[in-house]
Amino acid sequence: MNPIEKLGQKAEFLIEVLPYIRSFHGKTIVIKYGGSAMTEEHLKRQFAEDVVLMKFVGMHPIIVHGGGPQISGMMKRLGKEPEFIKGVRVTDPETMAIVEMVLGGSVNKEIVTLINQMGGKGVGLTGKDGGLIRAKALSGQEDSMGHVGEVASIDADILRTLDEGRFIPVISPIAADASGKSYNINADLVAGALASALSAEKLLILTDVRGILDGNKQLLPSLSRTDVQGLIQEGVIGGGMLPKIEAALSTVESGVRKAHIIDGRVPHALLLEIFTDQGVGTEIVA
């Protein structure tokens, strides 16, 4: 392939993405960012590139990030052993303080900085900023883990304001209740709640797996609530995948058109999901 042919091929691909750019123009895409895509250097960089490109071609990407490993790491440095009950971090006041520092002060700003370096204008927020998220204690677990919460309500005013200004919001899953008490909330659930509140076009959850697999390790391209219940009973899915699936299911049931659980280890997974018909994971359908 000579240089001109190569250029031609590149132009062809640009044109292939035109229908996708057209149909997502002005639409909100909520992205749960986590896993390898948040830890491996080249994937981090590609994620930031993807988000900035999405913004420039007219979409409104909104990032919600996790940071479990970073939290556990800091806890250990402070001589505190991370503890989990049914996959949920036991969050006493001291742990909560560490969560806030690590997520809001470190992880969030690292993402903002990467976005800025790619030419975007990231703005880091927690659920506290602008009163974005009001939290409450996670029902049924108030006693054992005082600072594990869930979303009580959302006031998306700050996101709409930032949107007018060409900014890309990056959100840590931390929020306060009416009394000012802080809560750590599962980032998948925060992403789902924001997608619903914003009537987003799409919810994308980045994971470290190829998608949802069946009993034979085959990728399931699409799953409904009924399918999911079957897979849980068969013991095929469980663990950390459950909140992701639940977030996706309740989001599509609230009217968001599409939710996908995608493989964040694939380079430029976001672009492939948005700009091709070949999905890189499993779509969750209402």
Interaction of residue 219 with its own copies, rule CB under 8 A: no
Cβ–Cβ under 8 Å, residues 219 and 282: yes
Q: In a 3-state reduction of DSSP, which class is residue 189?
A: helix
- Token match 């694939």: residue? 266
Q: Which residue of 36, 39, 116, 254 would you call a contact of its own copies, by CB under 8 A?
A: 116
Q: Which residue of 30, 64, 125, 231 would you call a contact of its own copies, by CB under 8 A?
A: 125
Pairing mode, if any, of strands 202-207 and 222-223?
unpaired
Tokens of 193: 């709640």
Q: Which residues neighbour 43 within 8 Å (Cβ) at sequence distance 6 or greater? A: 36, 37, 264, 265, 267
Provide the 8-state DSSP code for 81.
-
CA dist., res. 29 & res. 12, Å (int): 26
Interaction of residue 164 with its own copies, rule CB under 8 A: yes
Q: Give 123 or 203: the residue with its C-beta nearer to its own copies.
A: 123
Interaction of residue 14 with its own copies, rule CB under 8 A: yes
Interaction of residue 150 with its own copies, rule CB under 8 A: no
Q: Which residue of 126, 184, 250, 282 would you call a contact of its own copies, by CB under 8 A?
A: 126
Interaction of residue 268 with its own copies, rule CB under 8 A: yes
CA dist., res. 129 & res. 142, Å (int): 24
Q: Which residue of 1, 12, 139, 143 would you call a contact of its own copies, by CB under 8 A?
A: 12
CA dist., res. 215 & res. 261, Å (int): 18
Q: Which residue of 138, 266, 281, 284 would you call a contact of its own copies, by CB under 8 A?
A: 266
User: How far apart are CB 224 and its own copies at their closest, in Å?
Assistant: 26
CA of 122: how far to CAs of 55, 130, 145, in Å? 11, 16, 32
Interaction of residue 66 with its own copies, rule CB under 8 A: no
Q: Give 126 or 250: the residue with its C-beta nearer to its own copies.
A: 126
Interaction of residue 221 with its own copies, rule CB under 8 A: no
Provide the 8-state DSSP code for 224.
-
Binding segment for its own copies (CB under 8 A), chosen from 141-149, 223-231, 251-259, 268-276, is 268-276
User: How far apart are CB 197 and its own copies at their closest, in Å?
Assistant: 17
